[in-house]
Amino acid sequence: MLKIGDFSKLCRTTVKTLRYYDEIGLVTPDLISRENGYRYYKPEKLALVSEIRSLKEMGFSLEEISSVLTGRPDAGELMDILEIKKRSIENSIVREQNSVSQLKKWISELKTELEMEKVTIKQLPDIIAATYRKIIPDFNYLYTMAPEMGDKMRKQGVVCREPAYCFNIYHDPECKDKDIDVEIVEAVVKKLPDADGIIYKEMKGFKRAACIYHRGPYENFGRTYSAVFKWIEDNKLEIIGQPRESYIDGCWNKEDPNDWLTEIQVPVK
């Protein structure tokens, strides 16, 4: 038989752990010396400790291991036990993955909120503008209206200004979910004759505009508008023009709506 120290080395398990296994009846010594209290183990117990280690690595608790080893199941029974444990672990993985997804979403939202808190004052330039104004049934129609405008401008040979400056203006006196009066504005290098619903005009800029970035889907604009209007109120400024939604990144170059970037510009004095 092997002394506990030698047994510990061979099974690569600390003496402290072996003593604990003895306390809970998982691995008991085969002999305890009356003279000196030394514990001795038969070599076949090495296989038992190895089984315990394997079961622990598979996620079994010591209580579960004790139940398995005490019952000494046959191969079929052991397979059933392992299958149940496998399904339990798979379910745990799914739950953890869901938790990770929720955490990522929360982190992204917090990053967005931090960005939305940063309001800056900018000057909005005078521009020559190609404009396209319509009453649209709902906001989803913008995904049709914008490409529609682009097609018309290409046929007319319009050259857009660099750097690009495109924004929407909403002419309704209050927020509406349908029958929305919207004007899409694109800065261009020169005026052309009005044609096919595209109106060309000069638009005056503003010396000061409170500007804030919105990252993410457009349906979340409400929070960003709330942040910039609160900032304007806190800084005792007056709104002197219609807010502009200037599109930087969107569905045309970013597949994920969470990566869309818009600057909301509110003229103030």
Q: Taking all residues of the chain, what is their mean pLDDT, rounded to a whole number?
A: 87
Is residue 216 scored above 90 in pLDDT? no
Is residue 111 scored above 80 in pLDDT? no
The percent of residues in the chain predicted with pLDDT above 70, rounded, is 94
Q: For 120-147, what is the mean pLDDT? A: 90
Is residue 71 scored above 70 in pLDDT? no
128 burial type by CB count under 10 A (0-12 exposed, 13-18 middle, 19+ buried): middle
User: 163-207, pLDDT tens digit by residue?
Assistant: 889 999 988 887 777 888 999 999 999 999 999 999 999 999 999
Is residue 149 scored above 90 in pLDDT? yes
DSSP for 106-131, please give it: HHHHHHHHHHHT-EEEEEEPPEEEEE
Q: Rounded distance, CA 213 to CA 113, Å?
A: 10
Tokens of 50: 């190895």
Confidence of residue 121 (pLDDT cuts 50, 70, 90): very high
Q: Rounded distance, CA 242 to CA 146, Å?
A: 20
Confidence of residue 54 (pLDDT cuts 50, 70, 90): confident
The pLDDT value given to residue 238: 94
User: 229-242, pLDDT tens digit by residue?
Assistant: 889 999 999 999 88
Query: HSE (CB half, 13 Å, CA atoms) of 66?
Result: 12
The pLDDT value given to residue 109: 67
Helix, strand or coil, per DSSP, at residue 14: coil
User: Exposed e or buried b for every residue in 216-249, given b needs 16+ CB within 10 A?
Assistant: bebeebeebbebbbebbeeeebeeebebbbbbee
Q: Can you list the positions of beta strands (E) in the chain?
A: 2-3, 31-32, 39-41, 119-124, 127-136, 166-170, 180-188, 199-203, 206-215, 244-249, 261-267
Q: Specify the CATH number of the domain 119-267.
A: 3.20.80.10
Per domain, the residue ranges of the chain are 2-72, 119-267
The single-letter DSSP state of residue 159 is: -
Q: Rounded distance, CA 217 to CA 222, Å?
A: 11
The single-letter DSSP state of residue 256 is: S
138 vs 74, higher pLDDT: 138
The pLDDT value given to residue 268: 95
Q: For 43-72, what is the mean pLDDT? A: 85
Pick among 1.10.1660.10, 3.10.180.10, 3.30.70.890, 1.10.3720.10: CATH of 2-72: 1.10.1660.10
Is residue 220 scored above 80 in pLDDT? no
